[in-house]
Amino acid sequence: MWQSSPPGSIYDYIRVASFSIGADGLIEQWSRRAAGLFGMAADEAIGRDPVEAFMPAELRSDGHRRVGEILDGKEWTGLVPFRMPGESGAHGLAEVYVMPSETADGERAALCIVVDVRALRRIETDLAASQAIFGQSPFGFVLFGTDFTVVRANQRFATVFGGAADDHRGRTVDDYLPGPEAERLAATLKRVLETGESVTDLQLVGPTPGGTGRRHWSMNLYRVHSGAGRPV
């Protein structure tokens, strides 16, 4: 089943771009994401030598050699410093996947997939910070999806409510609180998701698994967004 990915998908974070090289070593196709990454529109890029256009001068000799090998049928993956049009030095670092291909006439060509390495490093840092918050915090964290089922919980939360952290995936507020309190929390979650307004110190009362008495909880609720601003 085909479905469109909304803005803010993983590809927006990673910054993946693609272009193709013809048998003459010149750019034959140029994606919109390539235009965004390299700062050059398709009508400017098509027909240009990618090595001359985007690689710093001191790396072009090796770049031309690599392109020749690729057009001879050799697959290649590597890190390539690139410059923006009009700049002399390196602007960024790209991880490039180059796969030999053929044109409709049977001539050798190449398909290039490019990933912005700086974006990958930012994702690694964000993931490390997320793991630190969820894994090391003395507070219970639980992330609800837009369908109000649990997407993720930390070990502190699981210690209180039982089982392992992964056991809580897919659960709803009804699994943790009695009817009236569950309804109140569900309504508050819905309001936070719809308005973006945070709620702090929401007081709730309920039992814990295996417990005999009631516990009093204080919850802070915040809407979480993707890089593109879409509520997740």
pLDDT (tens digit, 0 to 9) for every residue of the chain, 232 residues total?
A: 445 555 555 666 677 889 999 999 999 999 998 988 888 899 999 999 998 888 888 888 998 998 898 888 888 888 888 766 655 555 678 888 889 998 888 889 999 998 888 777 777 777 777 777 777 788 899 999 999 999 999 988 998 888 898 999 999 999 999 889 999 999 999 999 999 999 999 999 988 776 677 889 899 999 988 766 788 8
- Structure-block tokens of residue 113: 């997939």
Q: Give the torsion through C-alpha atoms of 86, 91, 92, 95, to 10 deg.
A: 30
The answer to the question of residue 131 being in a domain is no
Please report the pLDDT score of residue 12 as a whole number: 63
Give the CATH number for residue 77: 3.30.450.20
The answer to the question of residue 43 being in a domain is yes
Are 228 and 214 in contact by the 8 Å Cβ rule? The answer is: no
- Structure-block tokens of residue 61: 């000799």
Please report the pLDDT score of residue 92 as a whole number: 73
The answer to the question of residue 50 being in a domain is yes
**In which domain, by residue range, is 116 found?**
10-120
Residues 96 and 151 in one domain: no
Q: Is 149 left (phi over 0), alpha (psi -120 to 50) or beta?
A: beta
Please report the pLDDT score of residue 160 as a whole number: 86
CA distance 75 to 95: 14
The answer to the question of residue 182 being in a domain is yes
Please report the pLDDT score of residue 182 as a whole number: 93
* pTM for the structure as a whole: 0.55
Q: What count of other Cβ atoms lies within 10 Å of the Cβ of residue 77?
A: 10
Are 229 and 8 in contact by the 8 Å Cβ rule? The answer is: yes
Backbone angles phi, psi at 5, to 5 degrees: -95, 125
**Residues whose CB falls within 8 Å of the CB of residue 106, separated by 6 or more in sequence, listed in order:** none
Backbone angles phi, psi at 128, to 5 degrees: -65, -40
CA distance 103 to 110: 9
The answer to the question of residue 81 being in a domain is yes
CA distance 29 to 52: 17
CA distance 226 to 232: 6
Number of domains, the chain: 2
Please report the pLDDT score of residue 22 as a whole number: 92
Please report the pLDDT score of residue 115 as a whole number: 86
Domain end residue (candidates: 64, 92, 120): 120
The DSSP letter of residue 179 is: H
Residues 153 and 211 in one domain: yes
